[in-house]
């Protein structure tokens, strides 16, 4: 079964092929007159279940649109409205869903839920975000970087803030796509050691520094994400803001990166917390391309999972 669970557990050559396929599909689609029907319908006759146990704008809409553009159909399901939210096991849900649909995309809390779904499903499962990782996002992000600046291999990518799920998938990508990665943030919010070790073992020069100005020197790409993720308790909010205030990405910080450095944020953003509006709307920012590329990158992931 070809699941897409994480970047570090997917073959590097397959990841590269997916990025290239996403770019080719994007070019073909965006170059044709608006309103022209898609002639490439590799998902015709396929049904995809999109399960959300957390809120979503981009993941939900980009998967839904992507499947439809390729001729497939979708069901967008809220975990809370399924028996899943009322005590039915993940394993039983996976077995039942596999009798109805051709692929399951799930956004959930615990990584164990995703893994159990993948273990018991007899159709491919895609990770649409867990507390621990967000691989579809970083496929779109790598694609976005390469569209603007060419191959990401050998570049310097800097993360400023919380070493969260999105940061984890960036570390996986650093190992798989061969770029260097610097994390800057307070020590209690460092990314997991196991992800740092993965990236280093695959040749990435991973640096950790408490000094954001030092971190961004020579950066090709600077990234921010929310200071409080969906799985974090709201009670952590004030402490997080105090811990992370010094790691805001603003114009002064961007000015210390390379002059042509890009800025990314997976969104949703909290304007003027982790990043200023001046940076989000400024010349370094590629956040709208990044959001669009969720669609194209995930279409490539869907095709890879289904072998079509």
Binding marks (x or -) toward ligand CP, 260..279, rule CB under 6 A?
Answer: ------xxx-----------
DSSP label at 271? B
57 binds, among ligand NVA, ligand CP, none (CB under 5 to 8 A by kind): ligand CP
Work out whether 56 is an interface residue with ligand CP (CB under 6 A).
yes
Q: Which of 272, 269, 303, 285 lies closest to 139, judged by CA? A: 303
Binding marks (x or -) toward ligand CP, 161..200, rule CB under 6 A?
Answer: ----------------------------------------
Work out whether 59 is an interface residue with ligand CP (CB under 6 A).
yes
Least distance from ligand NVA to the Cβ atom of residue 232, Å = 8
Least distance from ligand CP to the Cβ atom of residue 147, Å = 18
Work out whether 47 is an interface residue with ligand CP (CB under 6 A).
no
290 binds, among ligand CP, ligand NVA, none (CB under 5 to 8 A by kind): none
| DSSP conformation letters of 219-249 | -SEEEE--SS-TTS-GGGHHHHHHHHGGG-B
* Distance (Å, whole) CA 131 – CA 238: 20
Interface with ligand NVA (CB under 6 A): 164-166, 225-226, 229-230, 266
9 binds, among ligand NVA, ligand CP, none (CB under 5 to 8 A by kind): none
- Taking CB atoms, the residue at the shortest distance from ligand NVA is 229
Query: What interhelical angle do 287-306 and 58-69 show, nearest 10?
Result: 50
Contacts of 63 (CB under 8 A, 6+ apart): 48, 50, 74, 105, 128, 298, 302
Contacts of 221 (CB under 8 A, 6+ apart): 145, 149, 155, 156, 157, 158, 261, 262, 263, 264
Task: Assess contact for 275 and 247: CB atoms under 8 A.
Answer: no
Task: Assess contact for 4 and 10: CB atoms under 8 A.
Answer: yes
Catalytic residues: 107, 134, 137, 225, 266, 294
226 binds, among ligand NVA, ligand CP, none (CB under 5 to 8 A by kind): ligand NVA
Nearer to ligand NVA, 70 or 143 (CB): 143
User: Pick from 57, 83, 211, 277: which binds ligand CP (CB under 6 A)?
Assistant: 57
Q: Which helix (H) or strand (E) holds 189?
A: none
Work out whether 58 is an interface residue with ligand CP (CB under 6 A).
yes
Least distance from ligand NVA to the Cβ atom of residue 36, Å = 32
Q: Which of 240, 224, 229, 206 lies closest to 280, judged by CA? A: 224
Residues of the shown chain interacting with ligand CP in the complex, contacts defined by CB under 6 A: 56-59, 129, 137, 266-268
């Amino acid at each position: 079964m070809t699941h897409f669970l994480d970047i570090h557990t997917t073959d590097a050559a397959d990841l590269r092929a997916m990025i290239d396929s996403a770019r080719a599909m994007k070019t073909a689609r965006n170059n044709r007159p608006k309103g022209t029907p898609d002639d490439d319908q590799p998902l015709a006759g396929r049904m995809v279940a999109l399960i959300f146990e957390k809120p979503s704008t981009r993941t939900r809409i980009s998967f839904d649109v992507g499947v439809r553009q390729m001729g497939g159909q979708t069901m967008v399901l809220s975990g809370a409205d399924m028996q899943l939210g009322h005590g039915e096991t993940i394993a039983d849900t996976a077995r039942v869903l596999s009798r109805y649909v051709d692929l399951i995309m799930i956004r959930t809390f615990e990584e164990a839920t995703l893994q159990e779904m993948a273990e018991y499903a007899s159709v491919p499962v895609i990770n649409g975000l867990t507390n621990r990782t967000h691989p579809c996002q970083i496929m779109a992000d790598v694609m976005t970087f390469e569209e603007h600046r060419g191959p990401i291999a050998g570049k310097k990518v800097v993360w400023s803030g919380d070493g969260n799920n999105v940061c984890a998938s960036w570390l996986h990508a650093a190992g798989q796509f061969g770029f260097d990665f610097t994390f800057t943030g307070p020590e209690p919010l460092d990314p997991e050691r196991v992800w740092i070790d993965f990236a280093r073992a695959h040749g990435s020069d991973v640096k950790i520094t408490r000094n954001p100005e030092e971190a961004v020197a020579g950066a090709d790409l600077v990234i921010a994400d929310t200071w409080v993720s969906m799985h974090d308790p709201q009670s952590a909010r004030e402490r997080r803001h105090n811990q992370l205030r010094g790691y805001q990405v603003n114009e002064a910080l961007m000015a210390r990166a390379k002059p042509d450095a890009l800025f990314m944020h997976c969104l949703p953003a909290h304007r003027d917390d982790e990043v200023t509006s001046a940076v989000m709307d400024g010349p370094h920012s590629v956040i709208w391309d990044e959001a669009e590329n969720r669609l194209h990158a995930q279409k490539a992931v869907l095709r890879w999972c289904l072998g079509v």
